[in-house]
């Protein structure tokens, strides 16, 4: 089973990497007014059966994110877990 994990900084948290991307001029579009940089991970889970197959993504949901400053979303098939 493959889960997709998206991690983004919460609003109001300084994003120096996003500012660096904006400052580098690599965007090339005047319409772009802000850039926020996040993380994307694909997690492959193997050997899960029965109820553990459903519980595993829920159990790991806070592992890849610092929930003090970050939001996260985990997707597995039609399951979407979100901490905002």
Counted domains in the chain: 1
- Distance of alpha carbon 28 from alpha carbon 71, whole angstroms: 28
Kindly state the average pLDDT of the residues 15-23: 90
Q: What is the pLDDT of residues 41-78, one digit of tens each?
A: 888 877 766 666 666 666 665 667 888 999 988 887 65
**Contact of 4 with 75, CB cutoff 8 Å:** yes
Q: Which two tokens stand for residue 33?
A: 């007014």
Tokens of 52: 């553990």
Q: Give φ, ψ of 10 to 5 degrees.
A: -70, 155
Task: Give 26-46 pLDDT, tens digit per residue.
Answer: 667 777 888 899 999 888 877
Pick the closest to residue 57 from 37, 39, 78 (CA basis).
78
pTM: predicted TM-score of the whole model, two decimal places: 0.71
Q: Which CATH number goes with the domain that contains 59?
A: 3.30.1280.10
Provide the 3-class DSSP secondary structure of residue 76: strand
- Determine the pLDDT at residue 16: 94
Q: Which domain holds residue 19?
A: 2-83
């Amino acid at each position: 089973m493959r889960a997709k994990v998206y991690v983004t900084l919460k609003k109001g948290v300084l994003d120096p990497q996003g500012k660096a991307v904006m400052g580098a001029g690599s965007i090339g579009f005047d319409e772009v007014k802000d850039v926020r940089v996040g993380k994307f991970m694909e997690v492959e889970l193997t050997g899960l059966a029965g109820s553990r197959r459903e519980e595993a993504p829920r159990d790991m949901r806070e592992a890849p994110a610092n929930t003090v400053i970050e939001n996260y979303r985990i997707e597995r098939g039609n399951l979407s877990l979100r901490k905002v």
